[in-house]
Amino acid sequence: MKRITLLILLFLFSSIYFSMFLGASIGKEMSGKNRFVLGAELGTYSSIIGFSLNIYYPLSGTNLDLENTNFSEIKLVEFDPYLLFNLKISSTSIYVGVAPILIVNLQNTEIGLYSQEIFHGKLGLKTGAPITLSLEAITTFNLQFLSTGIYTLNLGIGLTF
């Protein structure tokens, strides 16, 4: 818990000095359970080292059915604090990042590590300002940097300020 608190404080401190991105995304697992995934993100992409706090909620089933999704019944979400390496070209960022996978229980605000041996990696592109479009590919790795074969493609939109 101390590490999470330190990471959040570091992120908030860095946000004073770097421009911020706030956005939402929708993704699709290309293997595994083939679910759709909703996401929200707060991040910094303006320098070589960046941070991104992502929250993901996988929808049940393989169809995108937002009308029948009861968002008030969400109990668990995935929280990924990414450390990013950015290549900034004008208003476009190409980035790669890694993050531990944390599970947050929204009912009692407990946070737990999904696994000590598995983490997420992402490769992405963000372009535009102040309205920013993004495309990301996310996969799950083990400690030997071998992918588990589960990939997600995310499309997003947000604001850079």
Q: Output the CA–CA distances (angstroms, integers) from residue 14 to 23, 42, 44, 47, 83, in the order listed.
A: 18, 12, 8, 11, 12
The alpha carbons of the chain give a radius of gyration, in whole angstroms, of 15
Say how far apart CA 155 and CA 158 lie, in whole Å: 10
- Give per-10-residue mean pLDDT for the chain (161 aa): 67 61 93 88 89 89 69 85 93 94 90 92 93 95 89 94 81
- pLDDT for the residue numbered 91: 84
- pLDDT for the residue numbered 62: 63
Secondary structure (3-state) at 34: coil
The full set of domains in the chain, from first to last, is 2-160 (2.40.160.20)
Model confidence, pTM = 0.83
- Say if residues 103 and 81 touch (Cβ distance below 8 Å): no
- pLDDT for the residue numbered 106: 87
- Say if residues 101 and 78 touch (Cβ distance below 8 Å): yes
